[in-house]
Amino acid sequence: MTASIILYDPTAPRAKSPAKIETAKPVLESLQGKVVGFIDNAKPNFNHLADDIGELLMSKYGVKQVLKRRKRAASVPAPDSVYQEYAEQCDLVITGSGD
**pLDDT tens string 3-33:** 777 777 777 676 666 555 555 667 888 999 9
**Domain limits of the chain?**
31-96
Confidence (pLDDT) at 82:
94
Phi, psi of 69 (to 5 degrees): -130, 140
71 near 77, Cβ under 8 Å? Answer: yes
Which H or E run includes 92?
strand 92-96
pLDDT tens digits, 38-73: 999 888 888 898 999 999 999 999 999 999 999 999
Question: Is pLDDT of 96 > 90?
Answer: no
- In DSSP notation, 26-72 reads PPPS--TT-EEEEEE-S-TTHHHHHHHHHHHHHHHH---EEEEEE-S
Up-side HSE of residue 58: CA atoms within 13 Å toward CB? 13
Q: What is the pLDDT of residue 74?
A: 86
Q: Is the pTM above the cut of 0.95? A: no
